[in-house]
Chain A
């Protein structure tokens, strides 16, 4: 085929190759090395954030999405106390998936849980018609819609108003480490930080821009921890509302402890009365697919959002 031999496609025009190459060589800018270094420094420069810093604590428990799992939440409060947590933090997504959202609220208050606002709370408080989870596939959105509709109908106006007053982030000191607690990512409330699509260089820059020694997040449903080359930590606390798509019925949360040097991070498996949860979900007429997940430990819905590595580890 001789279609383009010796010629470049400049838009719809065919021009001699060297004419295109000369034009592109002259286009754009070529900064000096010093200017380039300054551009990179500016790009990664810390962003302003007036959030007050809480603590310092020697040991804290941090948990992700509750998804109306009041059994899981009760078990967590007991377990965290037994393990000597001085403070307990919730990263939001109190509703969705499970039954009877109003059972979660008193547990949070009695447990003195310091909560931040997830996309669920933001949506419910503002009267949004969907959860704004950030799913892109209609198959995921179908089940997300069922979850959200149920929770929205069951939550009292008072609970929704309380959700609306929650801060979107918290800064917490554990020992000498300042941690940033957010729901999805520091950039967006519904951004997914999965392990396989949150590479080390990206995380290092994120922590530079958001001035913290550690980042705590949830939203994905899957827990993971990365200690970065800089010594800083990124922890997705997972969720306590549904299992971690690994065939086990327990759920997960994070325990962080100050050490002489740095901070210890432990992802803690949490056993709770999953059969009681399943019975209550059936009583409330929630989808059988959701109940199957609670009983089997495998996700049956909202799978399309999973990146390749996480999907390869799924049963469905």
Chain B
């Protein structure tokens, strides 16, 4: 049944999103393995979560070759904690020969030597390298209940090391605290970044997804928080990131970074298997639409 037919004849059915262009390719490069166990993590990452495993250079290389054939524009690496993966820097070096790369990190493993090596990788490539560092509060009292005791100071140290290496990180903050997304809240994060030597502060604010550990922390979705074909905006669903991204894990290709812990969101074994439409039959899709979420920077 075509998407248009679905919307008109079955308005209560889940909408389908076509892949328009495969611009953004995500890699769950650290699997769900992390050195933290944040209470709001929508994929419930932890030191013992092996739902998805780390990916090695050979695996990533195969997918990069497929991605190049499809004209992927940019690459993102996440987990878990990507720098727990011993192949991470080699993976970045290889990726930067075919496109720009961004790493999402908790910042705890950003020692000065690693930052210097990342700077060298960035300088050696014609494509851009970005680091996104996660933080969820302006001080230990607001951050540590989410990320773990003692993390605030360690995260700031990581950011400081990046700034000293003349890498300009993007701070990623989820709206666990509502004030984080306000003008005053953002200004506090900008001031914090400047105090760490980041003279061109950048910030990305993300809503929380009420799945995984976050569902336990603050509650899961209500039954009404579900997208229906009849909810379609005038120009369709192309504003959703699943119209331009896919996520690769050690087990295959998923539709997006949010739904990796749902087997039903796996689209295929390879990228070429995964170019078809996706049915937005998951509550988390509601957050993407309602808040205009894009996981990319």
Contact = CB atoms under 8 A, between A and B. Distances in A.
Interface residues of B, number: 56
Closest 6 CB pairs of A and B: A205-B71, A36-B272, A308-B128, A199-B99, A201-B68, A23-B263
Contacts of B22: 43
A62 B46 CA distance: 54
A20 interface: yes
The bracket for how many chain A residues form the interface is 35 or more
A10 B262 contact: yes
Nearest to A26: B263
Interface of A: 1-5, 8-12, 17, 20-21, 23-31, 35-37, 39-40, 43-44, 187, 195-206, 208, 303-304, 307-312
A106 B248 CA distance: 54
Interface stretch (B5-13, B86-94, B209-217, B224-232): B209-217
B269 A30 contact: yes
A148 to B, nearest CB: 22
A12 B220 contact: yes
Nearest to A197: B100
A148 B22 CA distance: 33
A27 B43 contact: no
Contact of A25 (B67, B127, B202, B251): B251
Nearest to A310: B128
A184 to B, nearest CB: 14
Contact of B212 (A11, A198, A312): A11
Interface stretch (B48-56, B133-141, B171-179): B48-56
A199 B270 contact: no
Contact of B99 (A10, A17, A201): A201
B100 A307 contact: yes
Given A12-B216, A20-B51, A197-B73, A30 B251 contact: no
B111 interface: no
A205 B51 CA distance: 34
Contacts of A17: 50-51
B46 A3 contact: yes
Contacts of B74: 197, 199
B207 to A, nearest CB: 16
Given A9-B43, A28-B252, A309 B128 contact: yes
A4 B50 contact: yes
B129 interface: yes
B70 interface: yes
10 contacts: A1-B46, A4-B46, A4-B50, A9-B51, A24-B251, A24-B263, A29-B276, A31-B272, A39-B275, A312-B168
B127 A309 contact: yes
Given A196-B128, A201-B69, A4 B44 contact: yes
Contacts of A197: 73-74, 100, 127-128
B70 A9 contact: no
Given A11-B261, A308-B130, A308-B168, A27 B266 contact: yes
B263 A10 contact: yes
A40 B22 CA distance: 11
Interface in B159-180: 166, 168
Contact of A1 (B21, B48, B98, B216): B48
B32 interface: yes
Contact of A201 (B72, B128, B266, B275): B72
A183 to B, nearest CB: 18
B72 A4 contact: no
B37 interface: yes
B126 interface: yes
Contacts of A206: 71
B216 A9 contact: no
Contacts of A20: 51, 263
A201 B263 contact: no
B272 to A, nearest CB: 4
B30 interface: no
B127 A202 contact: no
A201 B268 contact: no
B266 A1 contact: no
Given A8-B51, A28-B269, A199 B263 contact: no
A40 B70 contact: yes
A1 B68 CA distance: 40
B153 interface: no
Contacts of A35: 272
B287 interface: no
Nearest to B272: A36
B67 to A, nearest CB: 7
A272 B43 CA distance: 56
B197 to A, nearest CB: 15
B182 interface: no
Contacts of A204: 71
Interface string B60-88: 00000001111111100000000000000
Contacts of B99: 199, 201-202
Contacts of A200: 98
B211 A11 contact: yes
A24 B274 CA distance: 14
Contact of A28 (B72, B100, B211, B274): B274
A206 B202 CA distance: 30
Given A29-B268, A196-B126, A202-B99, 5 more contacts: A9-B43, A12-B212, A24-B251, A201-B98, A202-B72
Interface centre among B32, B71, B100, B276 (most CB of A within 10 A): B71
A307 B202 CA distance: 12
B264 interface: yes
A5 to B, nearest CB: 5
